[in-house]
Each structure stands twice: as C-alpha cells, then as structure tokens.
Amino acid sequence: MKDKIIKSIKELLPYIIIFIVVLLIRAFIATPIKVNGNSMYKTLDGSEFMILNKLSKIERFDIVVVDSHSDELIKRIYGLPGEKISIENNTIYINDKKLEDIYANGETSDYESIILQDDEYFILGDNRTVSLDSRIIGPVKKKQIKGTTNFILYPFNRFGKLEK
C-alpha cells in the first residue's frame, strides 16, 4: 500500500511542480488582463486580452495597469517622477518643453503645472474625451502601478506586441 502511494505521488509530482510554477509566474512575473472600456481607443478598442508584465521598468509612453481604488485603469505614462508637467491648449509640456503626442485621440483638456514627486507618474488615456486619468484623479503612485502591458493575446487578428 505504501509503495502504491509513493508511486502515485511520483507520477503526480511533475504536475504539482508545473502548477506551482504557473502560480508563481502569475503572482510575481506576468498575468493575463482584460481591457475594458474605450479610454485607450485607437490603440486598444476595449475588448483585448493582454499580458501584464509585473517586472518591467516604467518608461514614458508605456501602457500600464493602475490600481485606482476598486478599479483597474489601463492608461499611458506621460510624466515621470520629478518632472514638471502641464497641459495648455491641447499641448503637453514636460519640463516646459513641448511633448510630441502621437497617441492623443480627441482634445486634451488643460491641466495646471505640477511637479511630480519621486514616486509619482502622470497617466493619460489615448481617448482623451472619455478617459479617467491624471487630469481628474491626479498623479498616481508607483505602488498603484501593477505593471506594463504591450502584448495582445486576443483577438487573434491583433495578436502580438504593440509598438511604442
């Protein structure tokens, strides 16, 4: 009886290891996410499944998932820690220099000049007229950012990496 139990455990061990590895990867490295809403339109239409990378360095124009109270927001990084950011007449300024914004869809409402703290980022949705972003909720803290995403899993006709 004991030999039968040991044999069964040995047969199951590879599956148990695979299961544990998948759980660890999902918890600490990458996990699938679902895009909801159209605040990132034209880049994303709101029906995509993507991979969230929990280990990547955050850079300007990265698409990130932000934990905002009970919601997860998918937005794009514009302002980095320590930078001065303002928006005037549909133009974004970083440290008083005009930023070329190729992602904007719609008018970008004005935003008074602020200097981001060491752990703050300024996020905007690409679809500016409907986006709940830093213009409304203010800068987001680094600890609110769950990771970056730039790889579409589904729909299959869009499968692959998004270009910056």
Asked whether residue 17 is domain-assigned, the answer is no
CATH number for the domain that contains residue 76: 2.10.109.10
User: Which residue, 127, 122, 104, 120, is CA-closest to 112?
Assistant: 122
Question: Catalytic annotation on 39?
Answer: yes
Asked whether residue 87 is domain-assigned, the answer is yes
Q: Point out the catalytic residue in the list 2, 8, 34, 39.
A: 39
Better pLDDT: 76 or 23: 76
Q: What is the DSSP letter of 163?
A: P
**Buried-state track 101-138, b at ≥16 Cβ within 10 A, e below 16:** bebbbeebeebeebebeeebbbbbbbbbeebebbbeee
pLDDT value at 88 more than 70? yes
Give me the domain span that covers residue 125. 32-161
pLDDT value at 66 more than 90? yes
pLDDT value at 1 more than 80? no
Q: Point out the catalytic residue in the list 7, 42, 70, 75.
A: 75
pTM, to two decimals: 0.88
Question: Catalytic annotation on 75?
Answer: yes
